[in-house]
Structure 1
Amino acid sequence: MDTSLQFNPNIKEIHNKLIAKLINCHVGHHENSDSYVSWKMQFRNYCDNPIQLNGSVLKNFYYLENAGLVGIGRYDVLQKIFSENNEALSEIKRTFEIIEHFEPSTIRSKDAENHIVEIRIKVKNGCPNIEELLTGILGDFVWKLDYAYFSSKLDNFQTFSLVHATTICQRIMDGLERSETFKNFENIILETKSDLKKFISLHNSDAEKSSMIIVRQFLIFLDRMKKKYCVQKWRVDWKEHTVIFVEFNNLFDFETCFESGSLKKEARTTFESIFSHFNDVRLHAPYVEIRKVEFHNK
């Protein structure tokens, strides 16, 4: 590995993202959990200092890095510690491969980088008119939510910096949030349900329930993309089929999302449910493709 990459902020971000994921997802902070105890027992093989052993997991990682046992692209010790955790080993291996194949000549400034994936929702022998109509409604829903969220954040940063629009909307739909602060989000939900209901009611006597299910399923999907896959921005568009463009802040999340089969499955499950409630002539289960959006410098 080119040693100059050690000082590249993008590489450091990828490394730090791995450490954060190992701590939060594979060790945890509950002292009585099996993963936490296992970590401490393994850590004893590399440090017998009582202060360190009684310290937090984050401090343990700092110790390993300061001792030169763990660093950017140096994960042998972590592989030994997590030898019984296949998922963690996969994360470590993926990060190492990303760093190892990161060419210095391809590094651009942080502001110039775009990490975008497109999720293509295709239906074999489907109905393009119906799919395009649905895509338009969902696209407007996403745009309105984002606009309302960022506008509200400007006016009330303290409140809106702690919670995202998808979480707010789910709480509203669950009857847990009735504050006037979030009234605009409630209106967006009602408008979207109304748009869906206008079409669904032509074919379905229970259009109210179906429109509610579609909005809820789509919100859950967006929320999981935000929290599980660290998606920063999204846009829904029609390109002869439904396309969801999702953007990431860093290469690690981008590569993880692209390689993850779970996002593909979640997209398929979500849209299968949405399609089944949008039209009485059930659209077939969708076929989902996930592709990188390539950008080329001129």
Structure 2
Amino acid sequence: MTVIALDFETANAGRDSACAVGAVFLEDGVVTGEAYSLIRPKNPRFDAGNVAIHGITARDVAGAPDFVEAMAPVLKRLPGALLLAHNAAFDLGVLRAAAGQAGLALPAFRSACTVALARHAFPTLANHKLPTVAAHLGLTLRHHHAGDDALACARIALAAAKAAGTASIAHHAGLIGKLVSHAPGRAAVPAAGGLAARALKAAGLSATVATRFVVRGSTGTPYNVDLTRSAGGALRLSCDCRGAMFGRQCRHVKGLLRGEVDDLLSGNAAEVAGLARRLGQR
């Protein structure tokens, strides 16, 4: 099984603003390759706080490849692979958001968080942040350089599996219930002639409008807001946040219906504004 340790740096709070990626490839417990690239995000805004963390600026990525090109070494090996990241919720969120923005459907793969693996294997550490675990294992680290962080992630996973006495990284993750399976995704843009595209056309919307928007909650958590068609044929927006579980129209949906884009992480602002006008809710 191919194992890929992955790390992203972002330009701003948006999960779709990846500006650097590091990847390390493992086969049978051996590092077989590494990849690193700057990324030119579609949203070119670089927040001062992010720059202070990783040192990457808009000027640095001006001539860099876009997400799909930069991710080519990972994407071609991702189907069926085990994807590792230290604090996987963040890096998987970046992967999904940036792929969705690019209209890219992700294949089926599995994932594991090396924070969880390290907690199980090295329970006496003061914390299980990447620099702490790396120092415990004697690894050199330029923290927040995506290439270095990905390599440290890979080394931590290998060391954790060995310390736990398991046969492999996947075996270790499965043994402690931290192996997650991900079904194939769908591209954010409806296929030409498909049901979603026809529904949009019938409503007078552009067939290129994304059917999913990713928004930022009040604490920074990303939520999916989908443009769906009811049994009666009416278009509506539905969110997967906790508030929407009780049948209420949550603040994320209300914001999009008003054409607000301040918390938009993935999706086109002009399309949101057009959607709001066409649904007559602005």
TM-score range, shorter chain: under 0.3
The TM-score normalised by the length of structure 1 is: 0.26
Higher strand share: 2
Higher relative contact order (CA 8 A, sep 6+): 1
Rg: which structure is higher?
Answer: 1
Greater percentage in helix:
1
